[in-house]
Amino acid sequence: MLASPGTGVLVLDQNDRPGAKLSLTGGGRCNILPAAADPSVYVTSSSRNSLAKILRGWSPGEARSFFAREAGVGIGPEAATGKLFAVPGGAPAVTGALEGIARRAGAVFRYRSRVSAISPSERGWTVSLECGESVESGRVVLATGGRSWPGTGSGGWGFAEAARLGHTVRPVYPALVPLLSGDPGFGSLSGIVVEATISSVFEGRPFSVRGPLLFTHRGFSGPVVMDASHAATGPRTAALSVSWGGLDRKAWEEALLAGRGLVRKALESHLPSRLAGLIVERAGLDPSIRFADLTRDGRMSLLAVLSACPLPVSGNCGWDEAEVTGGGVALEEVDPASLESRLHPGLHFAGEVLDAFGPVGGCNLYWAWLTGRLSAGARRPRKPSP
């Protein structure tokens, strides 16, 4: 998506093939786009105003039209979730289509080419390769990815290079990552999936996300945990609390007031049996207690565990399992229309190297397409001010 006729694009890739990371998305099916791109769902430590301006550069609808008309990639919703996948062919079809468009526009691809440094020069930029060769270019797009899934060649080199060139790089951390826990009670629920709402705080902004939570033998996973994980892995960690079963505090309070018979049995109409039993236990109640014997203090204790249960997190599964990288090049240091550096004319940034990511469901591939396109359509380098 960086190439257009007459641009003379050279793509340097340290891997031996394109789309190494793309091949892992959606289990290879490629969750290609979100249904919409609400700026509020994206996470950044940078200017949210800059983020909103970047997201206005190319809408999900325009991106979908590009894939359908120019790339010839079919996009279809998954029946169970409504998520948009590339059909047929998945990630390989998307990679092949984009590479084909770039080659037809004149782009040249060089694989197994590892860049060691980029430096301003009289002609614009000198790109130095580890093999000892150098390339001169009028402008450079740094699209080196983050640190997640390092097996795909994404080691975070772009962050160090941006910092060396004087850019502010927000601290990086694993995001959209499963969380670890040493709590034996929750560990005994391994394999159970429950609808949950997780609430926390990031950069001083409260947030809540809802979706399936999966208990694992190591801790917690599932879409809702992945979407909330940055609060536990970011620069200033915060506690996570859970409202179980997709009900909020008011709904649980009404359910408890209207309850009849055994408390645990009533909870099982909303929750898996083993989780219901653990919640009664964590509330300090007898497993066989009936609603008729539930005191006000007991009801309030149960309500707290049902609607604001602390999620005991002891760590995360690290870069190998993180789907994206949090942090990166500060958004206020790039032109939102072209993603050109405000410090160095002719230097552009695209993708995960920038300080922004979205929730699971196609938002991060959309960010890759969007920022790649903005970089491709950028103005030619302007001369430095005298």
User: Do 15 and 111 lie in a common domain?
Assistant: yes
Residue 106 lies in a domain: yes
80-84, 212-216, 378-382 — which one is most confidently predicted on average? 212-216
Q: Indicate the DSSP class of residue 69.
A: I
The per-residue pLDDT for 7 is 58
What's the CATH number where 334 sits? 3.50.50.60
CA-to-CA distance for 134 and 126, rounded, in angstroms? 7
CA-to-CA distance for 232 and 352, rounded, in angstroms? 20
* pLDDT of residue 125 exceeding 50: yes
User: Do 237 and 278 lie in a common domain?
Assistant: yes
* pLDDT of residue 49 exceeding 80: yes
The per-residue pLDDT for 377 is 78
Structural domain boundaries, residue 206: 179-316
Residue 292 lies in a domain: yes
* pLDDT of residue 26 exceeding 90: no
Q: Indicate the DSSP class of residue 28.
A: G
* Residue in 322, 374, 27 with CA at minimum distance from that of residue 146: 322
The per-residue pLDDT for 220 is 98
Residue 3 lies in a domain: no
User: Do 193 and 291 lie in a common domain?
Assistant: yes
pLDDT above 70 covers a percentage of the chain that reads 96
Average pLDDT over residues 151-167: 95
Give the type of residue at 329. Answer: V
CA-to-CA distance for 255 and 311, rounded, in angstroms? 22
* Residue in 35, 187, 32 with CA at minimum distance from that of residue 95: 32
* Residue in 59, 42, 62 with CA at minimum distance from that of residue 51: 42
The per-residue pLDDT for 267 is 97
User: Do 140 and 19 lie in a common domain?
Assistant: yes
Mean residue pLDDT of the chain comes to: 93
Per-residue pLDDT tens for 277-294?
Answer: 999 999 999 999 999 999
- CA torsion 252-257-260-263 (nearest 10°) is 50
- CA torsion 105-111-115-119 (nearest 10°) is -20
Residue 381 lies in a domain: no
Per-residue pLDDT tens for 222-242?
Answer: 999 999 999 999 999 999 999
Burial of 109 (0-12, 13-18, 19+ CB in 10 A): middle
Per-residue pLDDT tens for 308-359?
Answer: 999 999 999 999 999 999 999 999 999 999 999 999 999 999 999 999 999 9
Helix (H) or strand (E) holding 369: helix 363-376
Query: Where is the domain boundary, 316, 334, 350?
Result: 316
Give the type of residue at 38. Answer: D
The per-residue pLDDT for 37 is 76
What is the domain count for the chain? 2
CA-to-CA distance for 44 and 386, rounded, in angstroms? 33
**Taking the CA of residue 332 as centre, how many other CA atoms within 13 Å lie in the half-sphere pointing to its CB?**
8
Please state which of the ranges 17-31, 159-173, 362-376 shows the lowest mean pLDDT: 17-31
Contact 194, 268 (CB under 8 A): no
Helix (H) or strand (E) holding 102: helix 90-104
Average pLDDT over residues 163-171: 98
* pLDDT of residue 2 exceeding 70: no
